[in-house]
Structure 1
Protein backbone atom coordinates (compact mmCIF):
# COMPACT_ATOMS: atom_id res chain seq x y z
CA UNK A 1 0.00 0.00 0.00
CA UNK A 2 1.31 3.47 -0.87
CA UNK A 3 1.10 6.51 1.38
CA UNK A 4 1.83 10.17 0.78
CA UNK A 5 3.75 11.26 3.89
CA UNK A 6 4.38 14.89 4.83
CA UNK A 7 6.91 15.65 7.56
CA UNK A 8 7.85 18.96 9.16
CA UNK A 9 10.96 19.02 11.36
CA UNK A 10 10.65 21.05 14.58
CA UNK A 11 13.78 20.64 16.69
CA UNK A 12 13.36 22.99 19.68
CA UNK A 13 15.85 25.85 19.69
CA UNK A 14 18.36 25.89 22.51
CA UNK A 15 17.80 22.38 23.83
CA UNK A 16 20.49 20.67 21.72
CA UNK A 17 23.99 21.60 20.67
CA UNK A 18 24.74 21.95 16.97
CA UNK A 19 26.80 18.76 17.21
CA UNK A 20 23.79 16.87 18.61
CA UNK A 21 21.54 18.24 15.86
CA UNK A 22 24.11 17.30 13.21
CA UNK A 23 24.22 13.76 14.64
CA UNK A 24 20.40 13.46 14.47
CA UNK A 25 20.43 14.57 10.82
CA UNK A 26 23.31 12.20 10.01
CA UNK A 27 21.49 9.22 11.52
CA UNK A 28 18.29 10.28 9.75
CA UNK A 29 20.06 10.47 6.37
CA UNK A 30 21.53 7.01 6.88
CA UNK A 31 18.13 5.56 7.81
CA UNK A 32 16.52 7.29 4.84
CA UNK A 33 19.03 5.66 2.49
CA UNK A 34 18.27 2.27 4.05
CA UNK A 35 14.52 2.77 3.62
CA UNK A 36 15.04 3.89 0.03
CA UNK A 37 17.21 0.87 -0.73
CA UNK A 38 14.51 -1.37 0.78
CA UNK A 39 11.83 0.19 -1.46
CA UNK A 40 9.91 1.67 1.46
CA UNK A 41 10.60 5.26 0.48
CA UNK A 42 9.79 5.35 -3.22
CA UNK A 43 10.08 9.11 -3.84
CA UNK A 44 11.03 12.12 -1.72
CA UNK A 45 10.52 15.83 -2.40
CA UNK A 46 11.92 18.73 -0.38
CA UNK A 47 9.80 21.80 0.34
CA UNK A 48 12.09 24.73 -0.48
CA UNK A 49 12.86 27.05 2.42
CA UNK A 50 11.58 24.66 5.09
CA UNK A 51 12.79 21.62 6.99
CA UNK A 52 9.93 19.63 5.50
CA UNK A 53 9.25 17.11 2.77
CA UNK A 54 6.69 14.98 1.02
CA UNK A 55 7.43 11.36 0.30
CA UNK A 56 5.80 8.41 -1.36
CA UNK A 57 6.21 5.51 1.06
CA UNK A 58 5.15 1.89 0.76
CA UNK A 59 4.13 -0.41 3.62
CA UNK A 60 1.79 -3.36 4.10
CA UNK A 61 -0.68 -1.18 6.00
CA UNK A 62 -0.97 1.93 8.17
CA UNK A 63 0.18 0.08 11.28
CA UNK A 64 3.42 -1.03 9.61
CA UNK A 65 4.00 2.50 8.30
CA UNK A 66 3.51 3.92 11.79
CA UNK A 67 6.12 1.52 13.19
CA UNK A 68 8.59 2.55 10.48
CA UNK A 69 8.00 6.28 11.05
CA UNK A 70 8.15 5.95 14.85
CA UNK A 71 11.57 4.30 14.57
CA UNK A 72 13.10 7.20 12.61
CA UNK A 73 15.91 8.98 14.47
CA UNK A 74 14.17 12.31 13.85
CA UNK A 75 10.68 11.08 14.83
CA UNK A 76 10.58 12.90 18.21
CA UNK A 77 11.05 16.19 16.33
CA UNK A 78 8.63 15.87 13.41
CA UNK A 79 5.00 16.55 12.74
CA UNK A 80 3.69 13.89 10.36
CA UNK A 81 0.66 13.79 8.09
CA UNK A 82 -0.09 10.48 6.35
CA UNK A 83 -2.47 10.21 3.41
CA UNK A 84 -3.30 6.70 2.17
CA UNK A 85 -3.54 6.46 -1.62
CA UNK A 86 -5.58 4.40 -4.04
CA UNK A 87 -5.24 3.79 -7.75
CA UNK A 88 -6.90 6.33 -10.05
CA UNK A 89 -8.25 5.13 -13.42
CA UNK A 90 -6.90 8.25 -15.18
CA UNK A 91 -3.36 8.01 -13.80
CA UNK A 92 -1.19 8.65 -16.86
CA UNK A 93 1.43 6.16 -15.65
CA UNK A 94 -0.96 3.22 -15.33
CA UNK A 95 -4.02 3.76 -17.52
CA UNK A 96 -4.52 1.70 -20.63
CA UNK A 97 -3.40 3.84 -23.58
CA UNK A 98 -4.91 1.57 -26.23
Structure 2
Protein backbone atom coordinates (compact mmCIF):
# COMPACT_ATOMS: atom_id res chain seq x y z
CA UNK A 1 0.00 0.00 0.00
CA UNK A 2 1.18 3.50 -0.80
CA UNK A 3 0.90 6.35 1.67
CA UNK A 4 1.62 10.07 1.38
CA UNK A 5 3.06 11.19 4.71
CA UNK A 6 3.66 14.83 5.66
CA UNK A 7 5.93 15.27 8.68
CA UNK A 8 6.76 18.51 10.48
CA UNK A 9 9.35 18.49 13.26
CA UNK A 10 8.96 20.74 16.30
CA UNK A 11 11.90 20.30 18.63
CA UNK A 12 11.56 22.13 21.95
CA UNK A 13 13.42 25.44 21.74
CA UNK A 14 15.15 24.69 25.03
CA UNK A 15 16.45 21.27 23.94
CA UNK A 16 20.23 21.23 24.42
CA UNK A 17 22.14 21.32 21.11
CA UNK A 18 24.00 18.10 21.92
CA UNK A 19 20.72 16.24 22.48
CA UNK A 20 19.19 17.72 19.30
CA UNK A 21 22.24 16.76 17.24
CA UNK A 22 22.18 13.22 18.62
CA UNK A 23 18.50 12.66 17.86
CA UNK A 24 18.92 14.12 14.34
CA UNK A 25 21.84 11.77 13.64
CA UNK A 26 19.84 8.75 14.84
CA UNK A 27 16.87 9.92 12.74
CA UNK A 28 19.02 10.16 9.61
CA UNK A 29 20.52 6.69 10.12
CA UNK A 30 17.11 5.09 10.72
CA UNK A 31 15.47 6.91 7.77
CA UNK A 32 18.24 5.80 5.42
CA UNK A 33 17.90 2.22 6.63
CA UNK A 34 14.16 2.25 5.87
CA UNK A 35 14.83 3.87 2.48
CA UNK A 36 17.35 1.15 1.58
CA UNK A 37 14.71 -1.47 2.43
CA UNK A 38 12.45 0.00 -0.27
CA UNK A 39 9.66 0.88 2.15
CA UNK A 40 10.41 4.65 1.96
CA UNK A 41 11.01 5.22 -1.77
CA UNK A 42 10.52 9.01 -1.80
CA UNK A 43 11.61 11.68 0.68
CA UNK A 44 11.51 15.42 -0.07
CA UNK A 45 12.29 18.38 2.18
CA UNK A 46 9.66 21.13 2.29
CA UNK A 47 11.56 24.31 1.46
CA UNK A 48 11.78 26.80 4.30
CA UNK A 49 10.44 24.46 6.99
CA UNK A 50 11.73 21.64 9.16
CA UNK A 51 9.35 19.32 7.34
CA UNK A 52 9.21 16.65 4.65
CA UNK A 53 6.82 14.97 2.28
CA UNK A 54 7.33 11.24 1.89
CA UNK A 55 5.88 8.27 0.07
CA UNK A 56 5.90 4.95 1.91
CA UNK A 57 5.30 1.59 0.24
CA UNK A 58 4.33 -0.82 3.01
CA UNK A 59 2.05 -3.81 3.54
CA UNK A 60 -0.57 -2.01 5.62
CA UNK A 61 -1.32 0.77 8.11
CA UNK A 62 0.11 -1.24 10.99
CA UNK A 63 3.49 -1.50 9.27
CA UNK A 64 3.43 2.22 8.48
CA UNK A 65 2.60 3.06 12.09
CA UNK A 66 5.44 0.84 13.28
CA UNK A 67 7.96 2.63 11.08
CA UNK A 68 6.73 6.12 11.92
CA UNK A 69 6.55 5.50 15.65
CA UNK A 70 10.11 4.10 15.55
CA UNK A 71 11.52 7.35 14.15
CA UNK A 72 13.71 8.98 16.82
CA UNK A 73 12.03 12.35 16.11
CA UNK A 74 8.51 10.85 16.32
CA UNK A 75 7.71 12.44 19.72
CA UNK A 76 8.42 15.86 18.19
CA UNK A 77 6.51 15.41 14.90
CA UNK A 78 3.14 16.43 13.59
CA UNK A 79 2.29 13.73 11.03
CA UNK A 80 -0.50 13.59 8.46
CA UNK A 81 -1.05 10.32 6.59
CA UNK A 82 -3.05 9.91 3.40
CA UNK A 83 -3.65 6.48 1.84
CA UNK A 84 -3.11 6.50 -1.93
CA UNK A 85 -4.91 4.59 -4.67
CA UNK A 86 -4.08 4.35 -8.36
CA UNK A 87 -5.80 7.05 -10.38
CA UNK A 88 -7.81 5.72 -13.35
CA UNK A 89 -6.09 8.21 -15.71
CA UNK A 90 -2.55 7.33 -14.58
CA UNK A 91 -0.25 5.54 -17.02
TM over 0.5: yes
TM-score (norm 2): 0.96
The answer to whether residue 26 in structure 2 is matched with residue 27 in structure 1 is yes
Aligned to 2:52: 53
The answer to whether residue 77 in structure 2 is matched with residue 72 in structure 1 is no
CA RMSD of aligned residues (A): 0.7
Task: Please state how far the C-alpha of 1:82 moved relative to its aligned partner.
Answer: 0.3
Which protein shows a greater Rg?
Answer: 1
1:39-78 alpha-carbon deviations (Å, 9 max, x no partner): 0111011111100010001111111101110011110000
Normalized per residue, which structure has more helix? 2
Structure 1 spans left out of the alignment, 5+ residues? none
TM-score (norm 1): 0.90
Task: Please state how far the C-alpha of 1:85 moved relative to its aligned partner.
Answer: 0.2
- Aligned residue pairs: how many? 91
